[in-house]
Homo-oligomer: A and B are copies of this chain.
């Protein structure tokens, strides 16, 4: 039996979760997908047997999402954090008090270059971030032990040295593994590279596979939450494929599915690969993540 689309009502002073509940009644299109995403995330977080794998790509820290990510970690909603070197770079830069600046997507990029401002759509990072980060990393890496390590363990060590609230610091403190397969592909990676070489620290390109697949194998149930695609999504997806499929899944992306890449692939494609269970709860949300994530987060805070 079909359910009717319930027309959404808003009220003066309604909470974010009350609005999401209204969207849930509607149940269709973007609003319906957003509401379903919140429901699925609520289920996966409440499920005591479920380990939540969070994959994040894109300019979320320059886009104002840092405190939300930190809160998700601190609230215990996430058990595995997979990200890009860029996000970790932006996180460290914020922790060093430099931060990002409001700009315009139409600004003259040559002028910005002369001013030492690096543009990400309409957000700028000052070049002065680099020497500050270098100082921090030099100190952080100075105390590390010589020898073999994994990217995850290296990032745990870095995280322990960060003062104040930070994504990496929160993960480090809560022993949440941070995977970043393409760490070399970032400002953080490029600075760390020279330092680890001097310290004769060998960072393995492969060893993290052991850990993520192990976590994936041993978890009774699993939820995946993707904000953006790229390596973070794919790295979690393959951990599912080479262990057991996920039970819950939510993804937020604006990428197109037609070109066939992993970033734009709808979640249900993962069923064919054995990455996602055929009976799993899953929702694809086509939305800019800087809009969707705060709504989802505020709604979940009200529910959990």
Contact = CB atoms under 8 A, between A and B. Distances in A.
A3 B291 contact: no
Given A28-B62, A123-B5, A294-B8, A206 B193 contact: yes
B206 A197 contact: yes
A102 B269 contact: no
Main secondary structure of the interface of A (DSSP, over half): mixed
Contacts of A59: 29, 259-262
B238 A64 contact: no
Interface string A230-241: 110011001000
Contacts of A222: none
A109 interface: yes
Contact of A190 (B8, B109, B209, B268): B209
Contact of A113 (B121, B259, B263, B271): B271
A28 B206 contact: no
Interface string A128-171: 00000000000000000000100100000000000000000000
A42 interface: no
A259 B99 contact: no
Interface size class of A (residues with CB under 8 A): 35 or more
- Among A32, A66, A292, the one with the most B-chain Cβ atoms within 10 Å of its Cβ is A32
A176 interface: no
Contacts of A34: 291
A19 interface: yes
A11 B64 contact: no
Interface of A: 2-17, 19, 22-23, 25-34, 57-59, 61-68, 71, 86, 94, 99-103, 105-107, 109-110, 112-113, 117-124, 148, 151, 181-187, 189-190, 192-193, 196-197, 202-206, 208-210, 213, 228, 230-231, 234-235, 238, 242, 254-263, 265, 268-274, 278, 286-292, 294-295, 297-298, 301-302
